[in-house]
Structure 1
Amino acid sequence: MTEPSSARRWSEPRGDVDREWVRPGPERQEYVRDAALAAVLLGATALSTLLSQSAGFSEHPSAIWISALYVVMCTAPLALRRRWPEAVAVVVGLVFALSQILSVPEMLFANISLFIALYSVGAWGRHRLRATIVRVVIVIGMFVWLFTALVAHASDPGSFANIPRNGAISPIVALGLLQIVTNLLYFGGAFYFGDRAWAAARERSALVARTAELAAERELNAERAVSLERVRIARDLHDIVAHHVSVMGVQAGAARRVVGSDPEGAAASLRSIESSARTAVAELHRMLTTLRDDEQPPGDAPSTRGLDQLSTLVADTRGAGVTILSRTVGTERPVPPTIGATLYRVAQEAITNTLKHAGPGAEIDLRLRYLDDAVELELGDSGSGSAVAAPGTGHGQLGMRERVDAVGGTIQIGPRARGGYLVRARIPTGEAG
């Protein structure tokens, strides 16, 4: 075949297509269609051979058994053109050439069968280099045979005896050019359409694979979302239970110390314990109700708590007998619910850690700063308990870091130089001019 066609033996793969892709073998229905095609071509070729022989297209036609063998060998292999495309093309090409040498009086369906065989090599060849070599060898062989026939025809003195020679081009040259152009178009079409069919199948396979990848990715994202939701719920449960239990522990200790000397103070501590327990149960109930009913609005669920509830958190802490100073710096303004909920949970966890680890008599200083482009929560204590000696440990601090990181903020957790412990969370609000 011509070099321009062979140079385009297959299109370069696109970015998402594997250039080492191998086309899968044919399916059962494709075998059935190829068998039907071979049967139709066999009947048509047999009829064409009979008609051509009866019309006397050849002065010395081949024997009947040769013509019959030609009809079978030129068409029957096409039933396996997708399974063994290279072998089928070689067989059909050899039969085509021998039919001309043996003067089988048929040319129409022989050309169709050879075209289909060459096309199938381009469309179904699993090894692309081998497919190209097979087609190039067949095409070169056909052109060698063509030039040999032209030379033999031109050397025959009687071949052009009755052809007028008054044209602008020699009859021999004109016939040779017509044959060359016709064969270039014939074999070039088989090359091009075969390679295009293979490229189209490759792109369809890539599309199917990509679709499967997207489906798997969607499923993975759904599973990841469920996991993240479980982590969020676990954080909220930790914050609720840990805070209220810590408050109740402090209040119970205070009540135990004054139960003999100050019954009224002990009773007040017990009432605070009861209030804290009721609050914890109510928050857990709201959370579980939200989890059970996805259609029900969350209302005042724990995940919707925000900066407005900081005053209640401070009051509960004071009720536990802890000294806490709360200040707001800057002009208050509404913040997104996710930011407000995050800062509330950070404050709740920081207070819980102070109650657990800061030691008796520790004071808490809580400051909420409204900056131009951020909101900052700072909570320090004056304690000297184990939290100072073991910063960054425990699920509580990990939960604080993950919460702040999830909304694009930063957090500092660690001991202060002048003693005590400090938690400072800064979350941008994107409101800077």
Structure 2
Amino acid sequence: MGHPLTVPSFWLHSLGPITPRPPLAGDRTADVAIVGGGYTGLWTAYYLARLAPALSVVVLEAEYCGFGASGRNGGWASGLFPVAEDKLSRRYGADRAAAMHAALADAVDEVGRVTAAEGIDCHYAKGGTISLVRSPAQLRRAYRTKGFVGAEEARAICGASDVLGGVYSPDCAALHPARLVRGLAEAVAARGVTIHEGTRVRRVARGLVETERGTVRAGTVVRALEGYTARLAGHRRTLAPVYSLMIATEPLPAADWERIGLRRRETFTDERHMIIYGQRTADDRLAFGGRGAPYHFGSRVEPDFDRVPAVFDSLQATLTEMFGIRPPIAHRWGGPLGIPRDWMPSVGLEDGIGWAGGYVGDGVAAANLAGRTLADLISGTESDRTALPWVGHRSRLWEPEPIRWLGINAALRATHLRDALERS
């Protein structure tokens, strides 16, 4: 074991110092080599160990399991998918589109089943999610949406200001994401999977993973790097790393929670175009985040990009505007998520190379479904999962620079402008 490491989020901070597992020590072979020790890589290893325990599986992680989005996200295990069901229906047919959304809804429950079975105390609470309607323009968009509820019912769930209605879905659970990913790593290791932390992968190819500490030769290689995919040789344009930032308050008093609600720990957002997301934590904090940080030229991912004071200030102001409170902020953090050019997540296995990701920020439950699907594909197990629309999908590459930088940041500014116009 190495020395304890610093941690980049409230979730990881709450676990105390993290001591990494030993790195790769020279060349080795395996049946399956998984690049990335977040949810996708670990769920894939977990289900492979259950389906095909005779396979030797190794997970290679640059920092430590959960260092990336899996240890920094908003803690929503949701059935949300970035491509609307009607759009999926036009492309793949109504039955396959419905199957995709049903599989994601089941993944929310599967996370709860597995964490209970494995004794992973990740504060799982399936209260559903509410998207609040807080302006006439939002009301016009949301009124005919499945799950729409009136103002009184929406306020009973989440007592924000100016609520005109809401869109409620039961397919979401709040959880502690770092407890989930670190507990999952322990469960995977207990099933015989080898995890090498502190092992940065430089390049993957058929049957080969090159790291700075040695080469792993494997019959199957899985790429599971999400927002860090651009760091891998040949993948600068595969997924755009776009930053999402979060804050966490100190625990709030009971009087505040009596007004705010979220009694079943429902997660919450509203119908603005620039995504925000929040949850009531098990220790009665508000953990709240949002998009809006700039995309960095060349798909760069750097620690300094995790903190943008103007975005943190905006998040704090939004909490005050929504709930009429000015709570002390205990933690501020951020990190990159992976966005494909067509916003369509995918999972697949071709010529001995597997991949999954591009979740556009909704990866907690989707990564579980992706891991199960990859395990089916690798082990040759027939299942309904391998026929889902995202299996084998290939998004086209992002444009080269500077077009990529100009386009993504222009879209961010346009989204801010649309919200400002709707509020005026």
Q: Which has the larger radius of gyration?
A: 1
User: Is TM-score (shorter-chain normalized) higher than 0.5?
Assistant: no
| TM-score with structure 1 setting the length | 0.17
Q: Give the structure, 1 or 2, with the largest relative contact order (CA under 8 Å, sep 6 or more).
A: 2
**Quick check: which one's strand share is greater?**
2
